[in-house]
Chain A
Amino acid sequence: MPVTVVNNTKVWQRYDTATRMKIWLGWIIGTAITLLCWQLISNNTRWEFVADASQQLSAFLQRMFPPDWAYAEQLWKPLWDTITIATLGTLLAMSIALPLSFVAARNTTPHPILRYVALLIIVISRSVNSLIWALILVAITGPGVLAGILAIALRSIGFIGKLAYESIEETSYEPIEAITATGANRLQVLDYAYLPQVLPSFAGISIFRWDINIREATVLGLVGAGGIGLNLNASVDLLRWDRVGMIFILIFALVLISETLSARVRKAII
């Protein structure tokens, strides 16, 4: 925070001139890039459709409410499927991610080459959205809940695996040394020194991911991978907005409940 003397008066400025220039330059470049991007998007937008957006929205809302309450009866099974996809997918991902994270962590990996393989698996799994995994899996297993479970699992392995191996790398070394010194073998050291330190955070991470997965599972049906998204897709195609409204209400309730539940359980664990 330089203070300069101009005309015998002390002038205070937050930054000196060079820093201020850099900050300005940063803002100008940032704004230019954003505007350029906006230009591209604007060119690809048909503004005559946008002009009546408010009418579209009000028409949409009018047709959505009142929702088709009777339709709810057909939605219990898809809702159950959605929960099943999220839960079984998360469990499957957990059972793979736990051993994988021990291979990926610097301090527990059996071999550096295996470590890089594990890290690669984690990165690929994380970079691909579960909806894209679902596209791939629907092609292999055919449409249905199974594809959804596998898609959720494939996306979650990377998420859980990354956070878990980071927490393994943060374990404190002293207990590990102490258990080793008693003459315990590698598995026993894992069981007594690593697991007690890692399991609570692993459980927390998994429950957090389950909560996210509930949300993701609601849309997998759009590409045919089961759950309530199938009904959403069908209702949108038929322009049955009252049914869409009903589905939105159920999704909203489901996500709120799962979020509360997961927050409670995580608090109980930690």
Chain B
Amino acid sequence: MAELTASPVTSRRWRKPPLIRNPWLRWGLLIGALIYLAVAISSVPVDDARIARGLERGGRMISSFLRPDFASRWYDIQIGVLESLTMTVVSTVAGVLLSVPVGLGAARNLVSAPIYLACRSIITISRTFQEVVIAIVFVVMFGFGPLAGVCTLAFATIGFMAKLLAEDIEEIDPAPLEAIRATGAGWLKTVTYAVMPQVSARLVGLSVYRFDINLRESAIVGIVGAGGIGSTLQTTFNRYDYDVAAAILLIIIVLVMTTELVSGHIRRRLQ
């Protein structure tokens, strides 16, 4: 303590150094963000009277959610849920199978430029558009029904899996690749022996994860007529049958939770 008090230190101020050092940029960003927020919030129309009425309806909704009605439209629910599940299975399998060639084609270290660009554009389109938007296109092509939904989810799966697969492949150890190529193996053999062993475990893990996502999405593509439980759900809302809607929602939640538990278990086992 002696030395601290003996020489009376000339007081040196200290402030926490700001996150962004350039003051112009810092204040500019802050003021810009505040202005954006103010404009954005003021651009949201809020109809007080409508909300007041809605709250009363919300109350009814909550009370009917507490006593869900599984019975009165059980047949529709059953068909919808079964359709959602089958769509999930088929689309995941098809999507994963197709994503392997696309993913290989989108890896810069494996293919020539034209193939690379083609596969990358498939991935970009699939990832940019929300599933429902893609479903609209497939409904136009195939008509209403679960086939459009399957194609939608499979297409979305391709984008999701192929991107991650391609990134994995671009990061693989190049040494085995050269070693296998040096044995005189062709492209396909190189891929089987040098690439797939390095990425296959993660591929399985991702497929299981994507299964979860597909199940969740299969509940909504029905809103544009692409099959599954979604159309039934929308109908119940339009008819104010909130107790039936509650039953459907509960089924969805339980299904999603179950598959998530199972898939989490599988993925842990794989690691």
Q: A and B touching (C-beta < 8 Å)?
A: yes
Residues of A within 8 A of B (CB): 30, 33-34, 36-38, 40-42, 44-46, 49-50, 53, 56-57, 60, 80-81, 83-84, 87-88, 123-124, 126-129, 131-132, 135-136, 138-142, 144-146, 149, 215-216, 218-219, 222-223, 232, 236, 244, 248, 251-252, 255-256
- Nearest-neighbor residue (CB-CB) of B36 within chain A: A87
Say which one of B37-45, B68-76, B100-108, B168-176 lies at the interface with A: B37-45
In the bound complex, what is the Cα–Cα distance between A60 and B137 (angstroms)? 9
In the bound complex, what is the Cα–Cα distance between A251 and B249 (angstroms)? 29
Q: Point out the residues of chain A lying under 8 angstroms from B217, CB to CB.
A: 129
B239 smallest CB distance to A (angstroms): 11
Query: Could you tell me if B83 and A44 are in contact, using CB atoms closer than 8 angstroms?
Result: yes
Q: Which of B116-171 contact A (CB under 8 A)?
A: 124-125, 128-130, 132-133, 136-137, 140-143, 145-147, 150
Query: Could you tell me if A129 and B128 are in contact, using CB atoms closer than 8 angstroms?
Result: no
Query: Could you tell me if B237 and A135 are in contact, using CB atoms closer than 8 angstroms?
Result: yes
Query: Could you tell me if A81 and B252 are in contact, using CB atoms closer than 8 angstroms?
Result: no
A157 smallest CB distance to B (angstroms): 15
In the bound complex, what is the Cα–Cα distance between A223 and B132 (angstroms)? 11
Query: Could you tell me if B145 and A45 are in contact, using CB atoms closer than 8 angstroms?
Result: yes
Query: Could you tell me if A34 and B89 are in contact, using CB atoms closer than 8 angstroms?
Result: yes
Query: Could you tell me if A223 and B51 are in contact, using CB atoms closer than 8 angstroms?
Result: no
In the bound complex, what is the Cα–Cα distance between A40 and B146 (angstroms)? 9
Given contacts A223-B223, A251-B128, contact A132 B249 (CB under 8 A): yes
Q: Point out the residues of chain B lying under 8 angstroms from A83, CB to CB.
A: 40
Q: Point out the residues of chain A lying under 8 angstroms from B256, CB to CB.
A: 126-127
**Interface residue tally for chain B (C-beta within 8 Å):** 57
Query: Could you tell me if B40 and A142 are in contact, using CB atoms closer than 8 angstroms?
Result: no
Q: Which of B17-57 contact A (CB under 8 A)?
A: 40-41, 43-47, 50-51, 54-55, 57
Q: B253 at the A/B interface (Cβ < 8 Å)?
A: yes
Q: Point out the residues of chain A lying under 8 angstroms from B253, CB to CB.
A: 123-124, 127-128
Given contacts A131-B220, A131-B223, A135-B234, contact A142 B54 (CB under 8 A): yes
Given contacts A81-B43, A87-B40, A149-B44, contact A139 B140 (CB under 8 A): no
- Nearest-neighbor residue (CB-CB) of A144 within chain B: B45
Query: Could you tell me if A219 and B147 are in contact, using CB atoms closer than 8 angstroms?
Result: no
Q: Which of A142, A145, A146, A223 contacts B234 (CB 8 A)?
A: A223
Query: Could you tell me if B51 and A141 are in contact, using CB atoms closer than 8 angstroms?
Result: yes
Q: Determine the main DSSP class of A at the interface with B.
A: helix
Q: Which of B50, B142, B224 contacts A45 (CB 8 A)?
A: B142
Q: Point out the residues of chain B lying under 8 angstroms from A136, CB to CB.
A: 61, 237, 245
Of the A-B pairs whose beta carbons lie under 8 Å apart in the complex, a sample of 10, sorted by A's number, is A34-B89, A37-B89, A41-B227, A44-B146, A45-B146, A46-B143, A129-B217, A132-B220, A141-B51, A222-B224
Query: Could you tell me if A248 and B147 are in contact, using CB atoms closer than 8 angstroms?
Result: no
Q: Which of A49, A80, A215 contacts B142 (CB 8 A)?
A: A49
Query: Could you tell me if B133 and A251 are in contact, using CB atoms closer than 8 angstroms?
Result: yes
Query: Could you tell me if B57 and A139 are in contact, using CB atoms closer than 8 angstroms?
Result: yes
Q: Point out the residues of chain B lying under 8 angstroms from A42, CB to CB.
A: 147
Q: Point out the residues of chain B lying under 8 angstroms from A87, CB to CB.
A: 40
Q: Determine the main DSSP class of B at the interface with A.
A: helix
- Nearest-neighbor residue (CB-CB) of A145 within chain B: B44
In the bound complex, what is the Cα–Cα distance between A139 and B237 (angstroms)? 8
Query: Could you tell me if A127 and B216 are in contact, using CB atoms closer than 8 angstroms?
Result: yes
- Nearest-neighbor residue (CB-CB) of A247 within chain B: B133
Q: Point out the residues of chain A lying under 8 angstroms from B93, CB to CB.
A: 30, 34
B206 smallest CB distance to A (angstroms): 17
Query: Could you tell me if B223 and A222 are in contact, using CB atoms closer than 8 angstroms?
Result: yes
Q: B257 at the A/B interface (Cβ < 8 Å)?
A: yes
Q: B219 at the A/B interface (Cβ < 8 Å)?
A: yes
Query: Could you tell me if A140 and B133 are in contact, using CB atoms closer than 8 angstroms?
Result: no
Query: Could you tell me if B147 and A50 are in contact, using CB atoms closer than 8 angstroms?
Result: yes
Q: Which of A30, A88, A132, A218 contacts B40 (CB 8 A)?
A: A88
Q: Point out the residues of chain B lying under 8 angstroms from A244, CB to CB.
A: 136
Q: Point out the residues of chain A lying under 8 angstroms from B146, CB to CB.
A: 41, 44-45
Q: B86 at the A/B interface (Cβ < 8 Å)?
A: yes
In the bound complex, what is the Cα–Cα distance between A159 and B55 (angstroms)? 26
Query: Could you tell me if A142 and B51 are in contact, using CB atoms closer than 8 angstroms?
Result: yes
In the bound complex, what is the Cα–Cα distance between A132 and B251 (angstroms)? 13
Given contacts A140-B61, A218-B130, contact A41 B147 (CB under 8 A): yes
Q: Point out the residues of chain B lying under 8 angstroms from A256, CB to CB.
A: 124, 128
Q: Point out the residues of chain A lying under 8 angstroms from B128, CB to CB.
A: 215, 251-252, 255-256
Q: B87 at the A/B interface (Cβ < 8 Å)?
A: yes
- Nearest-neighbor residue (CB-CB) of B237 within chain A: A135
10 additional A-B residue pairs with CB within 8 Å, beyond A46-B145, A127-B253, A136-B61: A44-B83, A50-B141, A50-B143, A128-B253, A132-B252, A139-B237, A215-B128, A218-B130, A252-B129, A256-B124
Given contacts A37-B86, A127-B257, contact A44 B145 (CB under 8 A): yes
